Amino acid sequence: MREPNNEFDEHAISVYTTGGLKLGYLPKSNNLILSRLMDEGNLLFGKTKTFHWDGKRLYLVVKVYMRA
């Protein structure tokens, strides 16, 4: 979900589960092009490729797709 009014990153994209649980954000270093695609009305979705829980944080590798 785009968060264009995010005070820390104008290109912020938050990541949610299909059940609506917010997991966090895409890295700022990787969200410029994706945010522009979303702002143009494109629907993006992701699938978890790998994950790791270190006891404090959940690290995800997510593949992002654009719906045609």
Summarised one tens digit per residue, pLDDT across range 6-40 is: 999 999 999 999 999 998 999 999 899 999 999 99
Q: Estimate to the nearest angstrom the gap between the alpha carbon of 57 and the chain centroid.
A: 16
Q: What is the pLDDT of residue 65?
A: 94
Q: Does the residue 61 lie in any domain?
A: yes
Using the predicted structure, report yes or no on whether residue 68 has a pLDDT greater than 80: no
Strand runs labelled E in the chain? 14-16, 22-25, 44-53, 58-66
Q: What is the pLDDT of residue 27?
A: 92
Q: Does the residue 9 lie in any domain?
A: no
Q: Does the residue 7 lie in any domain?
A: no
Supply the range of the domain harboring residue 61: 14-66
Q: What is the pLDDT of residue 14?
A: 95
Domain count, the chain: 1
Q: Does the residue 56 lie in any domain?
A: yes
